[in-house]
């Protein structure tokens, strides 16, 4: 479980990285909309795992590779924004956030299930208990 300090630091990084991706680095990613969905920070605040969602039809894996190539630049831009608020600028590790795809897949699986309706006799005996 994350401490309050880790949570505050993660929120700060999430907010500032979102600004970096939207305003300062958008030209690097072929106009794709990159959203920072979650940031997890190590207890020593030295490493930040950043989970990204890609919204505008770009190839997500290629975009992630491009982001990893430009990690040093992104970290520098982040440092310019938060240098007065923190002591250490964390190492950034980027991952694709696939929770939306996973949720859509689960919805599809659940909608495909054939669940028969409950018998009235079974439901009446359960209500009596």
Q: CATH for 4-112, among 3.40.50.2020, 3.30.300.20, 1.10.645.10, 3.40.50.720?
A: 3.30.300.20
At 51 the pLDDT is 94
Contact between 32 and 97 (Cβ < 8 Å): no
Average pLDDT, the chain: 84
For β-strands 91-96 and 34-41, DSSP reports them as unpaired
At 38 the pLDDT is 92
Helix axes 71-82, 4-19, angle to 10 degrees: 110
Kindly report the pTM of this predicted structure: 0.75
Section 41-63 average pLDDT: 86
Residue 51 DSSP SS3 = strand
The phi and psi torsions of 84 (rounded to 5 degrees) equal -85, -5
DSSP code of 2?
-
pLDDT at position 89 over 70: yes
Other C-beta atoms lying within 10 Å of the C-beta of residue 37 = 15
Section 46-75 average pLDDT: 87
Structure tokens, 19: 């600004």
């Amino acid at each position: 479980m994350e401490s309050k300090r880790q949570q505050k630091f993660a929120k700060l990084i999430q907010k500032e990285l979102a600004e970096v991706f939207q305003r300062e680095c958008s030209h690097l990613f072929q106009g794709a909309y990159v959203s920072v969905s979650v940031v997890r920070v190590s207890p020593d605040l030295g490493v930040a795992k950043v989970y990204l969602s890609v919204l505008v039809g770009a190839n997500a894996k290629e975009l992630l590779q491009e982001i990893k190539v430009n990690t040093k630049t992104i970290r520098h831009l982040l440092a310019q924004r938060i240098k007065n608020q923190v002591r250490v600028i964390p190492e950034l590790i980027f991952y694709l956030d696939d929770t939306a795809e996973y949720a859509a897949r689960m919805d599809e699986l659940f909608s495909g299930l054939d669940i028969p309706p409950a018998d009235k006799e079974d439901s009446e005996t359960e209500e009596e208990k």
